[in-house]
């Protein structure tokens, strides 16, 4: 890659242009290149920007391709029929294709802070349009502010991002502390890039992250949750959470995890980090992100287990353990605005881990029903992560894995019984988790109890319906009467076909086979009109010639 000698040294006004990027055309997305070409033909300055350019320069495969252009969102929509405009504070144009979505953003600049506290740098509005130079300087890190022109095969660098990629460092654009206070989520993003791309964080940027960590509680919970999910599913969660702990961000984002690491002994902390390491190994081996309840179950399991061991006599029953799990991780999930479905599954797979143990309570526990629960796969996957982390319990895991495979085959014939049993077990589990007595009373009634509980009229109607059902059976068809005996005169000429029809003809049998209504109608339409056969010639006696002599 070479720098253009004619580029202006004033990088705040003109970019450094690097030609011959050595990026293979096959590594680019064809649809993204076509979008760039069409916008340029209409007179709009357009580039590939952000993470895709960074990953291409680091010889990694980009997850997606983003574009930045001088065209406004409405202008982009007028050029592409598959365009949808999204966002309120930050309007974007999404181009929908069969298997992907290309994100097109308009060049923006730093918003003006009108009024308010001068010391409060938090950005609340970011929809001010600008130029390519202004758009580059408003981005978070230098490695994310590179603009690639795929047609000319050159990179426009306004902030010395190429140099930072060659040095493999993460550095903010402008004053580090100011940029972190503008958007505290950049602390988590810097750690994500450093852990996933094996980069080093610049010293000034790291110090600013430590100083601005307390501002993370002002960030929007959905953004925090999104970044934490990316960390846990990136395959580098171990290194990322160690960096979060070192800069003080973990105490703000997940104080429960931070307090556990501060109070647990060395062996427990080792198990916690090994469980994250096992999660990273599973992500790298599978080649795709793991389910969100599973990865967060690996994050919180040791904390739940630590609380259970602290008071084992109070959490002997599963309902008691469910309340413990709710008290430990419930506040975290509500604070992060965790989706209800994923939150419920996360707590469930943490509660049912004790069912895998050999000393699990046998009373009211039915393994066959447990195998058919929808959360069983995630619960078994969490058990496997625990076995990888501790290198123990593999016999238990293999046993339940074989049970799961056998249960899926043996449960197929009796589907109705399986569904009824699973429904009863789910009702019992919910009752035990939601009620304080933990007894899980069944809502069903036996036949005798039901008869006593029903009203006389209802009971009479039920018995009448049973009797009606028994009387509705089809009656036996009467036997056909015997055919009449017909005496045939052998002296007469036989007719065409017998009285019973030509039963020996294959064509006749095929024509008179039972057919559907449409087949009969079609055959009737195509059939030739019936013409009766000609009568047989009458037997005429030969004429005698009259003898004239008689």
Active-site residue list: 64, 66, 140
Task: Assess contact for 192 and 232: CB atoms under 8 A.
Answer: no
The rounded distance, in Å, linking the Cα atoms of 366 and 442 is 15
Strand partners, 96: 101
Task: Assess contact for 53 and 150: CB atoms under 8 A.
Answer: no
Chain centre distance of CA 314? 37
The rounded distance, in Å, linking the Cα atoms of 173 and 190 is 12
Q: What is residue 345's DSSP assignment?
A: H
Name the residue among 171, 355, 367, 383 with its Cα closest to residue 294.
383
Q: What is residue 115's DSSP assignment?
A: S
Nearby residues of 390 by Cβ (< 8 Å), 6 or more positions away: 271, 274
Strand partners, 148: 48, 155
Map residue 353 onto helix, strand or coil: helix
The rounded distance, in Å, linking the Cα atoms of 129 and 112 is 12
Nearby residues of 462 by Cβ (< 8 Å), 6 or more positions away: 454
Cα Rg of the chain, angstroms? 40
DSSP H or E segment with residue 204: helix 203-211
Task: Assess contact for 1 and 162: CB atoms under 8 A.
Answer: yes
For residue 225 the two structure tokens come to: 């949750």
Task: Assess contact for 286 and 384: CB atoms under 8 A.
Answer: no
Task: Assess contact for 128 and 111: CB atoms under 8 A.
Answer: yes
For residue 89 the two structure tokens come to: 């504070």
Neighbours of 428 (CB within 10 A): 18
Residues 198-236 as b/e (b if ≥16 CB within 10 A, e otherwise) read ebebbeebbebbeebbebbeebeeeebbebbbbbbbbbb
The rounded distance, in Å, linking the Cα atoms of 249 and 241 is 9
Name the residue among 4, 185, 156, 189 with its Cα closest to residue 68.
156
Q: Are strands 66-69 and 46-49 parallel, antiparallel or unpaired?
A: antiparallel
Q: Which residue has the tokens 């070192």?
A: 246
Task: Assess contact for 111 and 140: CB atoms under 8 A.
Answer: no
The rounded distance, in Å, linking the Cα atoms of 385 and 400 is 14
């Amino acid at each position: 890659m070479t720098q253009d000698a004619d580029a202006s040294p004033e990088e705040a006004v003109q970019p450094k242009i690097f030609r011959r990027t050595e990026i293979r055309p096959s590594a680019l997305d064809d649809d993204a290149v076509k979008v760039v070409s069409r916008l340029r033909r209409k007179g709009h300055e357009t580039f590939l920007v952000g993470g895709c350019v960074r990953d291409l320069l680091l010889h990694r495969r980009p997850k997606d391709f983003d574009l930045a252009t001088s065209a406004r969102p409405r202008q982009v929509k007028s050029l592409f029929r598959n365009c949808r405009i999204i966002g309120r504070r930050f309007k974007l144009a999404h181009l929908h294709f069969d298997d992907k979505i290309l994100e097109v953003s308009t060049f923006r600049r730093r918003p003006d802070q009108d009024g308010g506290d001068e010391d409060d740098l938090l950005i609340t509005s970011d929809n001010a349009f600008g130029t390519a130079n202004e758009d580059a300087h408003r981005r978070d890190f230098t490695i994310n502010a590179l603009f690639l022109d795929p047609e000319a095969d050159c990179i426009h660098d306004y902030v010395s991002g190429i140099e930072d990629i060659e040095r493999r460092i993460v550095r903010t654009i402008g004053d580090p502390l100011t940029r972190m206070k503008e958007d505290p989520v950049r602390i988590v993003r810097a750690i994500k890039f450093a852990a996933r791309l094996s980069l080093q964080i610049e010293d000034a940027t790291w110090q600013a992250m430590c100083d601005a960590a307390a501002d993370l509680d002002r960030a929007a919970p959905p953004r925090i949750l999104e970044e934490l999910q990316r960390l846990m599913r990136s395959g580098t969660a171990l290194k990322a959470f160690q960096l979060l702990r070192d800069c003080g961000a973990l105490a703000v984002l997940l104080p429960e995890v931070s307090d556990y690491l501060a109070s647990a002994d060395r062996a427990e902390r080792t198990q916690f980090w090994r469980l994250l390491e096992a999660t990273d190994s599973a992500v790298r081996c599978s080649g795709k992100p793991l389910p969100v309840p599973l990865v967060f179950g690996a994050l919180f399991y040791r904390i739940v287990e630590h609380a259970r061991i602290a008071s084992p006599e109070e959490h002997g029953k599963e309902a008691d353990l469910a309340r413990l799990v709710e008290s430990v991780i419930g506040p975290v999930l509500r604070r992060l605005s965790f989706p209800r479905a994923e939150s419920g599954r996360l707590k469930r797979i943490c509660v049912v881990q004790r069912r895998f143990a050999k000393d699990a309570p046998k009373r009211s526990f039915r393994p066959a029903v447990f195998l058919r629960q929808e959360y069983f796969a995630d619960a078994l996957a969490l058990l496997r992560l625990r076995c990888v982390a501790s290198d123990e319990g593999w016999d238990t895991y293999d046993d339940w894995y074989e049970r799961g495979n056998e249960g899926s085959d043996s449960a197929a014939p009796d589907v109705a019984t399986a569904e009824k049993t699973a429904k009863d077990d789910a009702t019992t589990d919910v009752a035990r988790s939601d009620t304080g007595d933990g007894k899980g009373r069944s809502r069903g009634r036996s036949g005798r109890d039901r008869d006593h509980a029903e009203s006389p009229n209802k009971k009479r109607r039920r018995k009448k319906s049973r009797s009606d059902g028994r009387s509705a059976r089809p009656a036996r068809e009467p036997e056909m009467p015997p055919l009449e005996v017909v005496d045939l005169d052998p002296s007469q000429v036989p007719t065409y076909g017998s009285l019973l029809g030509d039963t020996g003809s294959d064509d006749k049998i095929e024509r008179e086979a039972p057919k559907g209504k449409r087949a009969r109608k079609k055959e009737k339409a195509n059939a030739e009109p019936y013409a009766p056969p000609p009568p047989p010639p009458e037997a005429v006696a030969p004429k005698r010639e009259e003898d004239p002599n008689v």
